[in-house]
Amino acid sequence: MNSALGATIEDQVVGALNVNRSVWDPDGAYALFSFVRQPQTFPDVVLRDPGAEPTIIMGIELKGWYLLSKEGEPSFRYTVTPGACAPADLLVVVPWALRNVLSGKPRAFDPYVIPARHAAELRNHHWAHKRKTEGDPGIRPPAGPIRPYPAKTDQISDVPAYDRGGNFGRYARTGIMDEYLEATLSKAVCGIPGKAWLDFFRIFTESSGEANIRKRIEGLRKRFGGSAAPADQGEIQAFREILEIIEATISSGGRSN
């Protein structure tokens, strides 16, 4: 659903920003400007006027993140070269989950926001200087003129000299947004922290046998069996009940009432 929701997130952001014009343009200085979506072009959303050769003030590159994905982090690749980002452009990551975990309407959480050019520079610095590698850490910028608000056919991606694992651009793996990830995964989904749901889902992989499942359930029970703050007692109890239901289902050979 992450891909399907990507366009919806873009539409919702455009609509919300235009409806709240009084917040970002309280004096009416940009009365002719509005946020519009531009599919398959960097950035996803721009603030521009309606002229034949429009003036663009800023752009927003939007990325969706399914909070309960097995990776436990956003998997998007951000490869745009810094020179293709205007100073006011933003990279925005919008986390989401279904209200009832496996069903219900999507619910968005507080987004991660960083200047787009700064994000590209941090990514390149991490790739070239901070990570451990025996390969060539160099990065090649795209050929040809580089400018903000490129055409759809323009080459705007930096290319690593060596990337055997295909990891260049995996922004969440740079450590830049670790603090944000920790805070967001602590948010409650249906009364239980997102990181607890992830631990729970990871028990059930295609290669997990019954003995391993029982072992990991016991590990979760110990983890959530200690004392908790009064405000967290309800969430902890709910998680314990889920573990009991799963264990009972395993003991009955998959039969349930």
What residue segments make up the domains of the chain, in order of their start?
A: 2-184, 191-251
Phi, psi of 153, deg, nearest 5: -90, -5
Query: What confidence score (pLDDT) does residue 213 get?
Result: 63
Query: What confidence score (pLDDT) does residue 198 get?
Result: 87
Mean pLDDT (10-residue bins), the chain, 257 residues: 79 94 94 93 95 92 92 94 97 93 89 97 95 91 92 94 93 94 92 85 64 65 53 58 61 52
Question: DSSP string covering 118-132, please?
Answer: HHHHHHHHIIIIIS-
Q: What angle is formed at CA 90 by the lines to CA 89 and CA 94, rounded to 5 degrees? A: 155
Phi, psi of 181, deg, nearest 5: -60, -45
Query: What confidence score (pLDDT) does residue 103 get?
Result: 85
Question: DSSP string covering 64-102, please?
Answer: EEETT-TTSS---B--B-GGGS-TT-EEEEEEEEETTSS
Query: What confidence score (pLDDT) does residue 227 get?
Result: 43
- Among 65, 124, 125, which Cα is nearest to 95's? 65
